[in-house]
Homo-oligomer: A and B are copies of this chain.
Amino acid sequence: MLTHEAPATSDTGPERRRGGRARRAAGNIAATGAGLFLRRIPAYKLLGEEALAQLEEQADWILAEIGIDFRGDAEALRLFAAAGCEVKGERVRFQPGQARALCATAPAEFTLHARDPRHSVVLGGDHLVLMPGYGSPFVTDLDRGRRYATIEDFRNFVKLAWMSPWLHHSGGTVCEPTDIPVNKRHFDMVHAHLTLSAKPFMGAVTSVSRAEDSIEMARIAYGADTVAEHAVMQGNINVNSPLVFDETMTGALRSYAAAGQCVCVSPAIFGGAMGPVTPAAVAAQTHAEAMAGIALAQLVRPGCPVVYGSFHNTMSLKSGALTFGTPEGNLVTMALGQLARRLGVPVRSGGGQITAANSPDGQAMQDSASAMWATVMSGANQVWHAAGWLEGGLTMGYEKFVMDLDHCGAMLTLASGMEVSADTLTRESYHEAGPGQNFLSTSHTMRHFATANHMPDIAEAGPYESWVEAGCRTAEERANDRWKAMLAAYEAPPMDPAIAEALDDYVARRKTALPDEWY
């Protein structure tokens, strides 16, 4: 079972790092890090062979008969034409099986190297990598309410992710630092990931030059040789669904792929808007779009590490609003796990702990927990939005973040499976405590008691009477204590001062060279 006794940080050896006085004051502040996590329960098989083959055939049909637009990127079109695809204008069509064949050079499994090697993760196989939410312009907490996110918020979420043993990855745009010019945000975001955390991270994708800056900063932090030889970062390439890749995204894709860094291709389909309304159609279209993007990455650099991503959601049939954590979305998540495994590439779930709710109330956590179950059962290798998401991604919530962390810990414990062995079955206990007797004082219970069960980090509500006495504090209020205690106990992972200085210099120099752009 994965417990808080996870791989430690770089400055304390094999001992769990505790954060000194602040940690003791804060109570159960978790150590940083988690490193590798292997799922030890089977991935769920929602669909049988026939249905999976039908979905694959539909994806092939879409790619052959309808095709994909690669807009404004002559180089991408040239690569597809050279590979034998039919290119007419900006429309690329693939013969049945051709996209799958082009994806064949993508590795089934690869290591994403962290700055601290003990936090390196593997993507693919039975590995599971959890990371925070991505892309929210707003943040919220109980003290200050909802507001535009700033770089301070960004840094706070990087710190919280670094400290959590249940997140294996620092994420990317964990929130938008709106107090920084749009064209300079990536410097501060990548700087925060590289200096405040030592877990793997994602770089910028909003223009080719920002992608190149991100990769250059990784070269400074990891060493250029390391980045040349290993995947150390990911770029998220959103598909402009339905069936369109725009030049910003394919430009960034080509930058990451050329540098041998990981390309994550994320179709984004809201059923009924960017594709048909049925889960089966959304799954098949996602498969078509993901294969097209992965194929491009392989044409740029065969063997380039990729992740088969997805972001698919549903609509309220009452209001037209986007909905998250719904059963239809969860079915798609589970089907995509199967399709990606059959393609032989690591898969990022379109689930995570997602909700349309504005606060982490019962509805929010019902949605989030439900989507997370679908995600883990699907055999996903990487989970974005595992912590913090509110309002369909518009807002990162501080309280939601730590509430989600508790459920991440629970799901990782579940994914560690049930050990059936002579020790866990403990026949000797039944000689110590027979029918009608209490097992609390058996030697087996005594031996296992401290580590037997996963313990959430947010304080328990406790029995009704003491809960009332303490003011009927909801989980959200108790979560408020928790994230503050975590931030108070934060300590940065160590970094060579020369590297830190070189990063600072790079950022300062590049920022000076650019005018401020706010839009």
Contacts and interface: CB of A to CB of B under 8 A. Distances in A.
Nearest to A45: B42
Contacts of A356: 460-461
Interface in A348-393: 356-366, 368-370, 373, 377, 391
B475 A439 contact: no
Nearest to A66: B430
A318 B277 contact: no
A370 B281 contact: no
A272 interface: yes
B394 A464 contact: yes
B358 A410 contact: no
A435 B91 contact: yes
B363 A445 contact: no
Interface in A268-310: 271-281, 283-284
A69 interface: yes
B425 A281 contact: yes
Interface string A38-54: 00011011110001001
A318 B460 contact: yes
Contacts of A275: 439
Contact of A328 (B47, B411, B413, B429): B413
Contacts of A395: 464
Interface in A414-463: 414, 417-421, 424-427, 429-431, 433-440, 442, 444-445, 448-456, 458, 460-463
B326 A430 contact: no
Given A275-B439, A362-B360, A242 B453 contact: no
A425 B56 CA distance: 11
Interface in A307-327: 314-319, 321, 323, 326-327
Interface of A: 41-42, 44-47, 51, 54-55, 58, 61-62, 65-69, 91, 146, 240, 242-244, 271-281, 283-284, 314-319, 321, 323, 326-328, 330-332, 335, 356-366, 368-370, 373, 377, 391, 394-395, 400, 403, 406-407, 410-411, 413-414, 417-421, 424-427, 429-431, 433-440, 442, 444-445, 448-456, 458, 460-464, 467, 472, 474-476, 479
Contacts of A91: 435
Contacts of A146: 464
Contacts of A429: 276, 281
B242 A433 contact: yes
A440 B277 CA distance: 8
Given A317-B453, A449-B317, A362 B278 contact: no
